[in-house]
Amino acid sequence: MFQLNSFGQNIDSLMLVLRNAKQDTVKIQLRFDIGVATGNFNVGYWDTLLADAKKTSYKKYQAGILNNLGYIYDDLGEILAAIECYKKGLKIQEELGHKQGISTTLNNLGQVYKKQGDISRALEYFHRSLKLQEEVGDKGARAVSLNNIGRIYSMQGDISKAMDCFEKSLKLNEETDDKKGIAQSLNSIGLIYRKKGDTKKSLEYYNKSLLIRKITGDKRGLADVLNSIGSIYGSQNRMQKALDNFNMSLEMYEELKDKRGIAQSLNAIATLLVKKNEVGKAFSYASRSLQLAQELGFPETIKNTANTLKIIYQMQNKYKDAFEMFELEIQMRDSVINEENQKIIVKKQMQYTYEKKEMEGKAEQDKKDLIASEQLKQKEKERNYFIAGFVLVALLALFIFRGLRQKHKANAIITHQKVMVEEKQKEILDSIHYAKRIQTALMTSDNYFDKSLNRLQKRE
């Protein structure tokens, strides 16, 4: 998949900002976003942008540009160039620790190896990608990886597991409202119903996918689903409808320069022409298909085309050529579907299940640890509050005790002073009473003398 842009899809706004931008790093971001927003598949555009990005040491966008170049080279059938770009981009993403970028590139590498029939590597990259996507919670990317893994199960004939992957992918795409992803999942589910022989159900899903592709303007997706619908019509002997769909699909693939799609459409048309007994025309289409498929090195496409050519040669009584095509068909089939690959798929599935449970267990343990930590913190808070409260109460008690002690001491002093005052008062009163008694005594003597004096005067 293309590395996504960060500024949205308003191209006019991006162009306006670009014209007024001064900093080189900002210009690179804007050119990157414009390239993605416009769906620019021009190698020269991204090569130039990569050279400019290297001058700024803006590694994040270097990785994104390399990813997009890899996608374009893959689309053009230049597989080695695609792998080289993806791996360079992956190295930068890993240096940056950018998990989402890593998962996108891993997924794209898995796609390339799947097309080459290297199931072991494809699964390795898909599962590594899926693990990272689950870690970061990227539902959209998980949907893509699940769809890719489902395709491998489908190739190996395990339609039950394939359907499980496709349904999970569809659910995730619906949750994120990813129209393109929904259409892809619907198309994949349609494929499973076709393999089950339920053409009615298959066509129902293909048509749902077709409608979304038309609304979103997804040409490549539209070409894919037209090819799928054509196959259904072909199996129902509705030849003209099948041919119309195949021709529209071929035209779109040629417009997109999608060699893989062109090879598939050519073979589909050849298969239809064989049914119509138009052997000469069928041979022409099948030969072109095989040539492209071998250029790309895609075993699945080579296998299908070899089967068509085998039938054509048999119809032409060219049994030696037919046998050669039969051997090529078996060789390509065995390179993709073999016991070793089956073991690898089971191993990868078990590994993924184990790692997922381990991750879930770790997440559960982390949750428990977090709860325990919070409880411990709460207990520590409660303990601290208790200690603080206890200290406060103790201080308050000490303060009260000190106040009471001081008050008691003051009361004691006051009582003592009161006693002393009372004693002084008593002494004073006693002195007063004593003086009064003396005075009283003196007054008696004076009266006596007065009386005695009066008597003497009378005698005279």
Please indicate whether residue 407 or residue 357 has the higher confidence score (pLDDT): 407
Tell me: the pLDDT tens digits for 276-300?
999 999 999 999 999 999 988 888 8
Residue-level pLDDT at 354: 41
Q: How many CA atoms lie within 13 A of 41 on its CB side?
A: 12
| Predicted local distance difference test score (pLDDT) of residue 336 | 64
Phi, psi (deg, nearest 5) at residue 57 = 55, 30
393 secondary structure, DSSP code: H
Contacts of 9 (CB under 8 A, 6+ apart): 37
* pLDDT attached to residue 346: 47
Mean pLDDT (whole number) for 400-422? 67
Q: Does the pLDDT value for residue 184 go beyond 90?
A: yes
User: pTM for this one?
Assistant: 0.67
Give the range among 162-166, 198-202, 373-377 with minimum mean pLDDT: 373-377
**318 in helix, strand or coil?**
coil
How distant, in Å, are the alpha carbons of 70, 120, 192, 292, 450 from that of 265?
Answer: 24, 28, 20, 11, 168
DSSP letter for each residue of 7-76: S-S-HHHHHHHHHH--SHHHHHHHHHHHHHHTT---HHHHHHHHHHHHHHT-HHHHHHHHHHHHHHHHHH
pLDDT at residue 168 in the model: 94
Between residues 1 and 216, the one the model is more confident about:
216
Position 263 scores a pLDDT of: 94
CATH 3.40.190.80, domain 1-137, yes or no:
no
Give pLDDT, residue 320.
93
Higher pLDDT, 372 or 236: 236
Higher pLDDT pick, 7 / 131: 131
The model's confidence at residue 189, banded by pLDDT at 50, 70 and 90, is very high
User: Considering the chain, what percentage of its residues have pLDDT values greater than 90?
Assistant: 44
Question: Collapsing DSSP states into helix, strand and coil, what is residue 460?
Answer: coil
pLDDT tens, 16-68?
Answer: 787 787 788 888 888 888 888 877 788 999 999 999 888 877 788 899 999 99
pLDDT, mean over the chain: 82
Q: Identify the residue with better confidence: 6 or 197.
A: 197
What pLDDT is stored for residue 239 in this prediction? Answer: 93
Residue 430 has pLDDT above 80, yes or no: no
Distance between CA atoms of residues 450 and 359, nearest Å: 132
Q: Is 266 helix (H, G, I), strand (E, B) or coil?
A: helix
Q: What is the pLDDT of residues 236-247, one digit of tens each?
A: 999 999 999 999
d(CA 374, CA 385): 16
pLDDT at position 362, please?
56
pLDDT for res 248? 96
Is the pLDDT at 418 greater than 90? The verdict is: no
Nearest of 91, 100, 99 to residue 70 by alpha carbon: 91
Q: Is 192 exposed, middle or buried (0-12, 13-18, 19+ CB in 10 A)?
A: buried
**What is the number of alpha carbons within 13 Å of residue 7 lying toward its C-beta?**
22
Give the whole-angstrom CA distance, residue 146 versus residue 166: 7
